[in-house]
């Protein structure tokens, strides 16, 4: 048995078993990621799709995903690869890709405007070792690394990857413990600590998906954006410069009991955020 240090759960994993995320497993008394090098998704995307609006705008980036996640968002858009119950399927469908192969693939797309690799689609930090090993090679090749994450990871994990990551988009899915614990199965403090530390290390943008009846009040948006504004950024800058993406919810996965967020509400909450932040964008509208 061994203890995993990736998220707040600190899973005690028995030999041959996996933790909550469905990926961290115990082998010979050590916790290792069973999805190391297992690629389920690969696409060349505009950087703005990550979304990153103020990091090399107009460029392309090679997006790569594996499988597994340490949250249980009922509205997950990528539940086919994120939900742990689907992991055995992906283990059979995927071949292993080495960090060297992936870095070489990214380099081949330079002539199509590619600036590097974005680790995305599922939660990349449940297999942070592959991110770290690949990102180091991408960095050595003079290209960029982008992380798209729910931010529910320990600062030890951040220290492992931060030297090689140039930009992150981090979800701040709401600003109440009730929402994080009861709806997502997560821990808001861990996410906030991760965001605060990451903002001091690299370019960070934040995304909040607005879900009707869950995190959609002006009061919550004001508190969330005020907190972001108080952060310190790389180089000692102000958190008011951190971009926030306020996105529209559509019914997905297990959350089909409500309509899509009203566009007018998204715009109104974005205006609330703009009282504290310089760069606020609306998404899915």
Question: Is residue 23 within 8 Å of residue 85, measured between CB atoms?
Answer: no
Residue bearing the bigger pLDDT, 84 or 21: 21
Per-residue pLDDT, 88: 81
Average pLDDT score, the chain? 96
Give this prediction's pTM.
Answer: 0.97
Q: Is the CB of residue 49 less than 8 Å from the CB of residue 110?
A: no
Q: What is the pLDDT of residue 38?
A: 95
Q: Phi, psi at residue 189, to the nearest 5°?
A: -60, -40
For residue 21, what pLDDT band results from cuts at 50, 70 and 90? very high
Q: How confident is the model at residue 40 (pLDDT cuts 50, 70, 90)?
A: very high
Give the CA-trace dihedral at 103, 117, 37, 172, to 10 degrees: 160
Residue 20, pLDDT > 90, answer yes
Three-class SS state of 255: strand
Band the pLDDT of 173: cuts 50, 70, 90: very high
Q: Per-residue pLDDT tens for 139-168?
A: 999 999 999 999 999 999 999 999 999 999
Residue 265: which H helix or E strand, with range? Answer: helix 263-274
Do the beta carbons of residue 40 and residue 121 sit within 8 Å? yes
CA contacts within 13 A on the Cβ side of 143: 28
Residue 63 belongs to domain spanning: 2-283
Q: Name the maximum alpha-carbon separation found in the chain.
A: 54
Structurally, the chain folds into a number of domains equal to 1
Residue 87: per-residue pLDDT = 79
Q: What is the pLDDT of residue 91?
A: 79
CA separation for the pair 2, 29 (Å, rounded) = 6
CA 245 – CA 280 distance, rounded (Å): 6
pLDDT in tens, 78-134: 999 988 888 788 777 888 999 999 999 999 999 999 999 999 999 999 999 999 999
Q: Tell me what pLDDT residue 260 has.
A: 97
CATH of the domain at 208: 3.20.20.70
Residue 263 burial (CB count, 10 A): 12
């Amino acid at each position: 048995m061994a203890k995993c240090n990736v998220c707040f759960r600190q899973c005690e994993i028995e030999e041959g078993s996996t933790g909550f995320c469905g990926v961290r497993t115990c082998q010979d008394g050590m916790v290792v990621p069973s999805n190391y090098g297992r690629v389920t998704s690969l696409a060349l995307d505009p950087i703005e799709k990550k979304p990153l609006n103020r990091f090399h705008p107009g460029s392309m980036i090679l997006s790569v995903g594996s499988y597994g996640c340490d949250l249980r968002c009922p509205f997950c858009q990528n539940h086919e690869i994120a939900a742990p119950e689907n992991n055995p399927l992906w283990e059979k469908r995927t071949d292993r890709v080495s960090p060297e192969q992936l870095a070489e693939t990214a380099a081949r797309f330079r002539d199509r405007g590619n600036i590097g690799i974005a680790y995305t689609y599922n939660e990349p930090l449940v297999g942070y070792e592959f991110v770290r090993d690949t990102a180091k090679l991408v960095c050595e090749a003079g290209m960029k690394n982008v992380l798209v994450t729910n931010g529910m990871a320990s600062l030890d994990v951040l220290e492992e990857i931060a030297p090689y990551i140039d930009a992150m988009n981090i979800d701040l899915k709401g600003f109440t413990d009730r929402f994080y614990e009861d709806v997502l199965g997560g821990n808001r403090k861990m996410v906030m600590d991760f965001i605060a530390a990451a903002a001091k290390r690299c370019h960070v943008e934040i995304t909040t998906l607005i879900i009707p009846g869950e995190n959609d009040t002006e009061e919550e948006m004001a508190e969330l954006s005020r907190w972001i504004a108080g952060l310190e950024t790389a180089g000692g800058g102000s958190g008011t410069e951190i971009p926030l993406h306020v996105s529209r919810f559509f019914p997905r996965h297990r959350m089909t009991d409500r309509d899509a967020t009203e566009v007018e509400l998204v715009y109104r909450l974005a205006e609330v955020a703009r009282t504290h932040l310089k760069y606020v964008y609306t998404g899915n509208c």
